[in-house]
A and B are shown apart, each in its own frame.
Chain A
Amino acid sequence: MSDKRDPHHFENDAALIAAMLEGDSTAFEKAVALYHPRMVTIAKAIIGEAFAEEIAQDAWISAIRSLSEFAGRSSLNTWLIQITANAAKTRLRREKRQVSLDENWQKKETDDRFDHTGHWQEPVAQWELETPEAILANSELSDIISQTFEQLPPQQQAVLSLYDLEGESMTEICNILDISASNARVLLHRARSAIQQKIAQYQDND
């Protein structure tokens, strides 16, 4: 409602880019606020925590320098993520180190929700807050979801963001993160499951 008075409001990617090309400081702030956390998430998923911030900043510099050539064939978000992913992969090769991320993703520790026969240990109840709207309207639950999301291991967070928040295809996600489809699907389920378990914990204790 107050969008028109908000100095950080830009109608679309094209308006934001045009303002950035003119050196508009609020446009830079909006772009950084909106895209930098996503770029860091992608960089972390590829190269790990230590280099992620630096990679994202380098990606910004090269993106801004070629901003005038951005043809708008993809969204600005997708374009920035591609640049970040490429920068992270190049750096990974240069570092010549196998960065171990989200270790043990394939080695699932025993899941204590199940007994030795593979059945649920505890009955799974129907949730009292059963719709996403009801869940997000509960501020405590909504905070729990955001916090759990923030604390996910980098690769899980990246796959979940790309698939469920940004609607990227699995093929595209595998290309961006350089991971196999089966790996991506396991990471996606782990991430969703972590959030489902936190919501369940809250609803069971309520």
Chain B
Amino acid sequence: MLKCREIEQLASDYLDQDLSFRQRMAFKMHLFMCHNCRNYLRQLKTTISSIRLMPVNQSIVVDDKVKDLAKQLREQTSKT
């Protein structure tokens, strides 16, 4: 019987469908009986979806540091 600590450690593998059939069954059996782990798994699932929705591509920041590096790269590569 898996312990809660082991469920925590295997939770990403479970959600990413990366567990063997046996491990998956043992995982589900524990979930069936443990509401703390069911809540934990729901929390982790929500966390992963939140991470995936993070606006990485939309919010680019063109600050002075970016402008300086862009300028430096443009100059360095136009000389050749």
Contact = CB atoms under 8 A, between A and B. Distances in A.
Contact of B50 (A30, A36, A120, A145): A145
B54 A36 contact: no
B4 A136 contact: no
Contacts of A127: 42-43, 46
Interface residues of B, number: 42
B70 A32 contact: yes
Contacts, number: 130
Interface string A120-133: 10011111001111
A117 B3 contact: yes
Nearest to B41: A124
Contacts of A36: 66, 69
B54 A145 contact: yes
Given A135-B50, A195-B51, A29 B57 contact: no
A165 interface: yes
Contact of A25 (B13, B18, B74): B74
Contacts of A200: 43
Contacts of A64: 73, 77
Contact of A125 (B39, B50, B78): B39
Given A119-B3, A189-B12, A192-B12, A61 B77 contact: yes
B66 to A, nearest CB: 5
A30 B62 contact: yes
Contacts of A120: 4, 36-37, 40
Interface in A70-122: 111, 113-114, 117-120
Given A118-B4, A124-B43, A189-B11, A132 B50 contact: yes
14 contacts: A36-B66, A65-B80, A118-B3, A132-B53, A135-B50, A136-B50, A145-B50, A146-B54, A160-B51, A185-B13, A192-B47, A192-B51, A195-B47, A199-B50
Interface of B: 3-6, 8-9, 11-13, 18, 36-37, 39-40, 42-44, 46-54, 56-57, 60-62, 66-67, 69-71, 73-74, 76-78, 80
Given A8-B60, A165-B56, A193-B44, 7 more contacts: A61-B77, A111-B8, A114-B8, A118-B5, A165-B52, A192-B47, A195-B47
